[in-house]
Structure 1
Amino acid sequence: MPSPSEHWNKIFSTKTDPELGWYEGDVTQTLKFLAQIPLGESRQVFLPGAGTSKLVDELLSRGHKLVLNDVSEEALSRLRRRVGTGEKLTFLRHDISKTLPEGISQVDLWIDRAVLHFLLDEEDIQTYFSNLKSTIRLGGYALLAEFSLAGAPKCAGLELHRYCVDEMSRRMGPEFVLVEHEDYTYINPAGDSRPYLYALFKRQVNE
């Protein structure tokens, strides 16, 4: 069985962006949630599965500093070729189900679209949330967008752990407050419906 990096490297090396089942040419749904966050320029944002997302370009245009993580070096290489490099960009190749390396600075916002739901092992899920909690500063936010309970059981050839808002809230823990959530049906490039759950959380200042 291929490792996660091998699996995703193969996909990113054989498909163009519009051929990816999760590809979004329009990131309005994410931006709608971000509009509720008082983020000024030069805020720190962590994307645990950056892939080749167009959201990266949008966040850069707003002046944010980004930590772009992915398990696939192929995805990160494609992203570098498109957006370049610079002091506002940190590229990190890491399996987000494993403890993050030392030296990752705390961020104001964590945005995960379609990463968490690929983790099936309970230890991997717990490590993911440990990474999230250690990375978001007090008063910071997390936006999670995963397949909902009504969503497909598989994506990219892999089984999924689908989420309801109650499970998300439980795993985030009492230090995070649910700001808003929404069931959202994404239409993928093949024209298929993919029910998602979007949930925005804020880390309380007084824990």
Structure 2
Amino acid sequence: MSSSSEHWNNIFCTKADPQLGWYEGDVTQTLKFLAQIPPGESRRVFLPGAGTSSLVEELLNRGHELILNDISDEALNKLRHRVGTNDKLTYLHHDISKTLPDGISPIDLWIDRAVLHFLLDEDDIQTYFSNLKSAIRLGGYALLAEFSLAGAPKCAGLELHRYCVDELSRRMCPEFVLVEHEDYTYINPAGDPRPYVYALFKT
């Protein structure tokens, strides 16, 4: 975990949020998918790569309980300084490609924007999906937003495993079914297009 943590810590230490290649000042795309989930069915939310995302405040304002996970303790420290601490927030410094620690309550919704695609080793990918499937309660949801096959091959100086909806669906089966998906082109802070695939699943 140390080398990956160091890589991400260096990024979060040396760049302001709007300089990050994945920075979103507007999280409408994610909220559009969350609007498909009936009210009251996504109270406890797990973000496997929370970073310093402004989605956190949006979810808090909607009354969700959040588990904010990141491999970078610097990212979590920045987020904690910005958002604070309360009984609706849990900060978790963990490598999501490793088995989740014991004691995490069942969650209603897993939101991954641009985390899974950084995992290249098949064992790491399988552990990620095992974490997701074991963490989400029956009837819960997962929203995965990853670089699509048309997307850039690298991000943050790292090679990526890009996805199509068919591969995501295959890896989520048989426990989850696909609810909705969309190809979406995100324009990063440098003005460059970044094709994503968004896919919402339900148990």
TM range (shorter): over 0.9
* 1:98–1:128 contact (8 Å) kept in structure 2: yes
Q: What is the aligned residue count? A: 202
- Where in structure 2 are the equivalents of 1:116-155 lying within 5 Å? 116-155=116-155
**1: distance between equivalents of 2:41 and 2:170?**
31
1:175 Cα deviation after fit: 1.5
1:4 aligns with 2:4: yes
Alignment partner, residue 156 of structure 1:
156
The 5-angstrom pairing of residues 34-49 of structure 1 reads 34-40=34-40, 43-49=43-49
Name the SS of the counterpart of 1:25 in structure 2.
coil
Aligned pair in 2 of structure 1 residues 115, 42: CA closer, same or farther (>3 Å)? closer
Listed one character per residue, the Cα deviations across residues 21-48 of structure 1 (whole Å, up to 9, x for unaligned) are: 0000000000000000013288100000
Q: Give the residue type in structure 2 aligned to 1:116.
A: L
The residue matched to 1:29 in structure 2 has which SS?
A: helix
In the alignment, the residues of structure 1 paired with residue 3 and residue 11 of structure 2 have an alpha-carbon distance, to the nearest angstrom, of: 13
Shift of 1:76: 0.2
| Gap change, CA 1:121 and 1:62, over 3 Å in 2 | same
Rounded to whole Å, the distance in 2 between the matches of 1:19 and 1:196 is: 19
Summarize deviations over 1:55-89 as a string: whole Å, max 9, x none: 00000000100000000000000000111000000
Give the letter aligned to residue 102 of structure 1: D
- The equivalent of 1:30 in structure 2 is 30
**Structure 1 counterpart of 2:90, one-letter code:** T
- 1:1-207 matches, within 5 Å, as 3-40=3-40, 43-203=43-203
Q: Quick one: distance in 1 between partners of 2:47 and 2:138?
A: 18
Secondary structure of the structure 2 residue equivalent to 1:3: helix
Following the alignment from structure 2 to structure 1, what is the Cα–Cα distance between the partners of residues 41 and 80? 22
Unaligned runs of 5+ in 2: none
Q: Deviations over 1:116-146 (max 9, x none)?
A: 0000000000000000000000000000000
- TM-score, reference length from structure 2: 0.98
- Give every structure 1 segment of 4 or more consecutive aligned residues whose post-TM-superposition deviation is greater than 3 Å: none
Letter matched to residue 126 of structure 1: Q
Structure 1 residues 138 and 41: alpha-carbon distance in aligned structure 2, compared to 1, 3 A threshold: closer
* Equivalent-residue separation in structure 2 for 1:46 and 1:31 (angstroms): 15
- Give the AA of the match of 1:47: L
Distance 2:199 2:76 in 1: 26
Greater mean alpha carbon deviation, residues 53-62 or residues 2-11: 2-11
Distance of aligned partners of 1:41 and 1:133 in 2 relative to their CA distance in 1, 3 Å threshold? closer
Letter in 1 for 2:187: I
Give, in angstroms, the shift of residue 173 of structure 1.
1.1
Cα distance per residue 1:136-195 (max 9 Å; x no partner): 000000000000000000000000000001100000011201000000000000000000
Q: Give the CA RMSD over aligned residues.
A: 1.0
1-side partners of 2:94 and 2:41: how far apart?
A: 26
Distance 1:42 1:83 in 2: 20
AA partner of residue 53 (structure 2): S
Preserved CA contact (<8 Å) 1:41 1:64 = no
